[in-house]
């Protein structure tokens, strides 16, 4: 194959890969993109916009109710900046070890307007990893 023809094949392959990648990214974004809101932002949003969102905030100490079978918990999540702004959450599923009052959580789920609660299908507590900031009690 001549050098020119070979270059053409490389360009064609690159364009093909780029096109495939673009398609994958676009379809990935349409399925995997979830608006991430603070509790304050969620409070300001329309109920219709609170379907399939991620919510982050801090677990308040009062009203934490673990289900009897340990497979769920109801609690109040407060905005990280303004703790006075809060939301009731009901979560079904395995409760992470690190879940307790005061921890920061990321919740995935929908707002149930009728019941006035955020129904979470996923609850992740931030991993207190090696890069942890100074603890509040230190």
Partner 1 sequence: MHFAAYVGLLFALLTSLFLAGLAAYASWQSRRGALPFLERGQLLNAGFVVFSCYLLLIALVGRDYSFVYVFENVDNTLSLLYRITAFWAGRAGSLLFWHLIMAVAGGVFVFTRGYRGLSDGTKSLYWLLFNLTQAFFLLLLTGPSNPFIEAVPAPADGLGLNPLLQNPGMAFHPPLLFLGYGLFALPACCALASLLAGEARPWIRVCRNWNLLAWAFLTSGIILGGWWSYMELGWGGYWAWDPVENASLIPWFSATAFLHTSLIESRRGALQRTNVFLMAGTFLLCVFGTYLVRSGVDVQSLHTFGEGAVAVPLTVFMLGGLAIALVAVFLGEKPVYRALSGFTSRQGMLVITAWVFLALGVVVGLGTMWPVISKLWSSTPVGLDPTFYNRVCLPLFTLVVLVFCVCPWLGWKEGLRDMRGAAGTAGVFAGSLVAFWFAGVRVPLALIAASGAVAAMASIVLLFVLTPRMRSSRHSWGAYGVHLGMALMALAVAFSGPYKIEGEGTLHQGESMQVGDYLITNGKLTQERSRAVLAYKAELTVTRDGRTVGVVHPERRWYPNSRNSFAEVAVIPGLGDEIYTTLLGYDGKDGSVTISASVNPLVNWLWIGGTLMSLAPLLLLRRNPEPA
Residues that bind partner 1 (CB under 8 A): 1, 3, 6-7, 9-10, 13-14, 17, 20-21, 24-25, 27-29, 31-37, 41, 45, 54, 56, 68-71, 93-95, 97-98, 100, 104, 106, 108, 124-135, 138
Please tell me whether residue 47 adopts helix, strand or coil conformation.
Answer: helix
Half-sphere exposure of 45 (CA within 13 A, CB side): 19
**CB of 13 or CB of 115, closer to partner 1:** 13
Q: How far is the CB of 50 from partner 1 (least distance, A)?
A: 11
H or E, element range at 26:
helix 3-32
**Residues 6+ positions from 13 with CB-CB distance below 8 Å:** none
Q: How far is the CB of 83 from partner 1 (least distance, A)?
A: 18
Task: Round to whole Å and give the CA distance between 120 and 106.
Answer: 10
**CB of 62 or CB of 70, closer to partner 1:** 70
Task: Round to whole Å and give the CA distance between 90 and 109.
Answer: 10
**CB of 19 or CB of 83, closer to partner 1:** 19
Q: How far is the CB of 114 from partner 1 (least distance, A)?
A: 24
């Amino acid at each position: 194959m001549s050098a020119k023809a070979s270059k053409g094949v490389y360009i064609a392959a690159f364009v093909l890969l780029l096109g495939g990648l673009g398609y994958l990214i676009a379809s990935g974004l349409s399925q995997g993109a979830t608006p991430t809101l603070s509790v304050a932002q969620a409070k300001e949003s329309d109920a219709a916009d609170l379907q399939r969102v991620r919510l982050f905030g801090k677990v308040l100490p009062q009203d934490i109710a673990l289900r009897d079978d340990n497979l769920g918990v109801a609690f109040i999540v407060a905005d990280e900046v303004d703790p006075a702004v809060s939301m009731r959450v009901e979560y079904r599923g395995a409760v992470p070890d690190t879940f307790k009052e005061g921890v920061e959580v990321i919740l995935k789920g929908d707002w149930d307007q009728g019941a006035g609660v955020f129904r979470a299908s996923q609850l992740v507590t931030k991993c207190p990893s090696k890069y942890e900031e100074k603890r509040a009690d230190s």
